Amino acid sequence: MIKPKGTGKTATPLEQYGFRIGQKTEIAIDTHWYEYPSDDTDILEIWTYTDEISYRPGDTVRFHSYCSGSTYNLKIERDGSKLECAHTANDLEGTMPSTPDNAYELGAGWPVTHEWAIPDDQRSGPYVITSIAANASGETREHHHLIIIGPSPKQEKPANKKPYLMIFTTSTWLAYTEWGGANHYQGIAGEGQNGYAPRISPQRPWARGFVRLPEGAPHAFHESNIPPHWAPQIPFFNWAMGSGYSKWYVGGSYAEYDRLLVQWAEREGYCFDYISQHQLHFQPEILDNYNCVVIAGHDEYWSWEMRDAIDAFVDSGGNVARFAGNFFWQIRLEDGGQTQVAYKHLAHENDPVRNDPEKKHQLTTIWEDRILGRPGALTMGLNGSRGLYARMGAMTPRHSGGFTVYRPNHWVFAGTDLYYGDVFGSEAGIFGFEVDGLEYTFRSGLPYPTGDDGAPVDDISILAMAPAVLLEEDHGNPLGRVWWAAEDASIVAKGVYGEVTPETLEKVQYGSGMVVEYRRGDGCVVNAGSCAWVQGLKKRDFFTEQVTRNILNKLGGSEGQADTVN
């Protein structure tokens, strides 16, 4: 193991991989650590990023690397049911360019160190970039970055529409990666150098754990039974600190979420094309060539333009298959996509558009905020603010981990043998850590949306559901603590009801996660509103797999809309 320069101590796992410890902040998991170059030639470090998040065949990828070793190698592989090598570059010269203190906002600013012209026939997909460095003592370091290669622009108008286009949740990845010091949650931003960053740059490496994770890395949600009088724990926090990973991999990363659907779909024989949310924002016309848009994992952050693109697609007869949770925040993309903006809980006070009548609709707050007037359910059939947490900390810690079925005769459940009241996905734990729901009521044993949250009640059918919460309960157990405080509940209470009081907090405390069918225009959205749905695919849960096949087969085909909402 290496030793931090000037000490006789063995480096901690965080120090080995270039992490710094920041100041503690007033959020749930308060210890902050982040990757940043040490500029010390005695410490082996390697990172790479690219000039864009996503590309098309024919584009040129420009790589920017920092390496304290004399040389390093690059390997670019298409990731799917198997790895396919697309490009290699060996014995590249290691350089240690300077990095700005606020690289999280400005980008790392390193020079171009390598280029790759993407062949015109390169397959669409996620591509892992592995940077490998070694030193004279035989020590090695690897860094993993990721780019998305979209469909070829030369095939933009097929004679018949293609079945599936998967949209990677790149806005959420960006919101969570803290490389360089900060993300949209925590960091070294602000006068006290202990705040989150409302403006972040994609021009930096993905944090460790965002592209690759070892088997067995803990999830955000509980995976074991909780005993009585338990002291709430967050397993991933200690694991990440002790193993030298970003703790934010559990929030939003390719490795934890999107990759699991990619691998499952390709093993099953589905043929997807792939784009990023950034491509959706700037090139919405790509959707015109597909029957079904597919989304997986955690898609917490969307721009107004991205939603416009999805709405127009569905209105004109397109379908959406969403296996994801937490449709929550509006973001803006500025500087041609090189800056992502999210003021979040300070949007009403600090967002520059807050007093601009022409731009106020782009305030970076929650979608159910009264100022926006655009509940998420109008696009996806579910609202993030009517979720949110399950099986995390002391928030429904003994949850079954599955959905309860209420409309078993719906086509979504064909071939599953599921009955009314059955719970499916519990063994795989498909419900959590963040979920989307609706305000609902029961009539004759069946759930119906009330519309109190802006959901279009006549167009949505609730197929399955389970409880979730916005506030963590403190039972006063020995050694226990409240990890997640009331920040999200306060955001929802303020946005929906205009003020944060005990009464408004009580109104938003309890929520749900749901599977719904939503008919909009000439198209259909089927929304399985849970981040952890993909765990059912990874663990080969029969019910989750069959429901997923039913949704993809129906919405990706040419048979038109789904059956009438009941």
What is the pTM assigned to this prediction?
0.94
Do 66 and 97 contact (CB within 8 A), yes or no?
Answer: yes
Using the predicted structure, report yes or no on whether residue 25 has a pLDDT greater than 60. no
When pLDDT is averaged across residues 419-444 and rounded to a whole number, the result is 97
State the SS3 of 231-300: CCCCHHHHHHHHHCCCHHHHCCCHHHHHHHHHHHHHHHCCCEEEEEHHHHHHCHHHHHHEEEEEEEEECC
Rounded Cα distance, 160 and 273, in Å: 15
Using the predicted structure, report yes or no on whether residue 566 has a pLDDT greater than 80. no
When pLDDT is averaged across residues 502-524 and rounded to a whole number, the result is 97
What pLDDT, in 10s, does the model give residues 281-308?
999 999 999 999 999 999 999 999 999 9
Position with higher pLDDT, 146 vs 16 = 146
What angle (nearest 5°) sits at the alpha carbon of residue 374, between those of residues 371 and 375?
110
Report whether the peptide linkage leading into residue 433 is cis, meaning its omega lies within 30 degrees of zero.
yes
Instruction: State residue 523's pLDDT score.
Output: 98
Q: Which two tokens stand for residue 224?
A: 């074991």
Instruction: State residue 240's pLDDT score.
Output: 92
Overall size of the chain counted in residues: 566
Instruction: State residue 3's pLDDT score.
Output: 41
Backbone dihedral region for residue 432 (phi beyond 0: left; psi -120 to 50: alpha; all else: beta): left
SS3 505: helix
Instruction: State residue 478's pLDDT score.
Output: 79
| Percentage of the chain modeled with pLDDT above 90 | 82
When pLDDT is averaged across residues 311-331 and rounded to a whole number, the result is 98
Instruction: State residue 2's pLDDT score.
Output: 39
Q: Name the nearest CA neighbour of 319 among 565, 556, 559, 151.
A: 556
What pLDDT, in 10s, does the model give residues 58-114?
999 999 999 999 999 999 999 999 999 999 999 999 999 999 999 999 999 999 999
Using the predicted structure, report yes or no on whether residue 474 has a pLDDT greater than 90. no
Instruction: State residue 10's pLDDT score.
Output: 65
Instruction: State residue 5's pLDDT score.
Output: 43
Instruction: State residue 223's pLDDT score.
Output: 87
What pLDDT, in 10s, does the model give residues 220-253?
998 888 899 988 878 898 899 999 999 999 999 9
Do 338 and 202 contact (CB within 8 A), yes or no?
Answer: yes
Could you give all domains of the chain from N- to C-terminal order, each with its CATH number? Answer: 36-150 (2.60.40.1930), 179-196+207-556 (no CATH)
Give the ranges where 433-541 is alpha helix by DSSP (H): 487-497, 502-508, 533-538
Instruction: State residue 156's pLDDT score.
Output: 56
When pLDDT is averaged across residues 486-495 and rounded to a whole number, the result is 91
Determine the distance from the C-alpha atom of residue 406 to the mean position of all C-alpha atoms in its chain, rounded to a whole number: 28
What is the per-residue DSSP string for 181-224? SB-SSSBSBTTTT-B--SEE-SSSPPPTTSS---TT---SS--S
Helical (H) or strand (E) element with 308: helix 304-315
What is the per-residue DSSP string for 311-344? HHHHHTT-EEEEEEE---EEEEEEGGGTEEE--G
Instruction: State residue 515's pLDDT score.
Output: 98
Using the predicted structure, report yes or no on whether residue 379 has a pLDDT greater than 70. yes
What pLDDT, in 10s, does the model give residues 6-17?
444 567 888 888
| Span of 23-37, 70-84, 150-164, 239-253 with lowest mean pLDDT | 23-37
Using the predicted structure, report yes or no on whether residue 28 has a pLDDT greater than 80. no
Using the predicted structure, report yes or no on whether residue 531 has a pLDDT greater than 50. yes
Instruction: Return the top range by mean pLDDT from 69-83, 476-490, 546-560.
Output: 69-83
Using the predicted structure, report yes or no on whether residue 56 has a pLDDT greater than 70. yes
Instruction: State residue 23's pLDDT score.
Output: 61
For 179, 250, 299, 363, 566, the CA distances from 344, given in Å and listed in that order, are 20, 20, 15, 9, 37
Using the predicted structure, report yes or no on whether residue 30 has a pLDDT greater than 80. no
Determine the distance from the C-alpha atom of residue 202 to the mean position of all C-alpha atoms in its chain, rounded to a whole number: 15
Q: Which pLDDT band, with edges at 50, 70 and 90, does 206 fall under?
A: very high
Instruction: State residue 4's pLDDT score.
Output: 42
Q: Which pLDDT band, with edges at 50, 70 and 90, does 43 fall under?
A: very high
Instruction: State residue 1's pLDDT score.
Output: 30
Q: Which pLDDT band, with edges at 50, 70 and 90, does 476 fall under?
A: confident
Instruction: State residue 469's pLDDT score.
Output: 96
Q: Which residue type does 232 have?
A: P
What is the per-residue DSSP string for 342-389? --GGGHHHH-TTTT-TTTGGG-SSBTT-TTT---THHHHSSBGGG--E
Instruction: State residue 486's pLDDT score.
Output: 82
Using the predicted structure, report yes or no on whether residue 384 has a pLDDT greater than 80. yes
Average pLDDT, the chain: 93
| Percentage of the chain modeled with pLDDT above 70 | 94
